[in-house]
Amino acid sequence: MRLALAEAGRAGRGGDVPVGAVVLAPDGRTVLAAGHNEREATGDPTAHAEVLAIRRAAAVLRDSAARSASDKGGGGRRVGAWRLAGCTLVVTLEPCTMCAGALVQSRVDRVVYGARDDKAGAAGSLWDVLRDRRLNHRPEVIEGVLAEDCSRLLTDFFRDR
């Protein structure tokens, strides 16, 4: 979570809402990718920390699969290399519905978040997309990790605005 908080700080310094995310490999230690909110920086309303981290992690896995296939004489990408099975996404703020949907679709196994989002959260606060039994994939959800630190970062950002 400390790495995600550092990412969130980058977002805040750039004028975006300070949310940061990190995708960990299945070993739980190796960072595949990181991201922070870049909506203001890029003018892209989908540039949430989670979406950017998921995209970057999938690219790492695709590139790794392509290198592996190439080394074995396959010369191409492996089908399904975009799946983040076994991976964990750590994020400072409870994911919104868009991000929760992206997490389900990416097949992340675990989502760890800090601060609850009672206005837009989709991992238990307002909605619970991540644990909806009607969906084809339901990651484990762990909430409240360094919640005070994550909340303080957001509170300070909005107070200063």
Q: CA quadruple 98, 48, 113, 144: dihedral positive or negative?
A: negative
- Concatenating the DSSP letter of every residue in 88-99 gives EEEEEE---HHH
> 99 is written with which tokens?
């991000």
Tell me if residue 55 falls in helix, strand or coil: helix
The answer to the question of whether 48 is labelled as a binding residue is: yes
Is 40 one of the catalytic residues?
Answer: no
Cα–Cα distance for residue pair 116/20, rounded to 1 Å: 14
The answer to the question of whether 150 is labelled as a binding residue is: no
Q: Which of 50, 140, 143, 148 is catalytic?
A: 50
The answer to the question of whether 87 is labelled as a binding residue is: no
Name the packing angle between helices 49-71 and 97-106 (round to 10°).
20
Cα–Cα distance for residue pair 88/140, rounded to 1 Å: 9
Q: Which residues are catalytic?
A: 50
| Residue ranges of the binding site | 48, 96, 99
User: Residue ranges for the binding site for Zn(2+)?
Assistant: 48, 96, 99
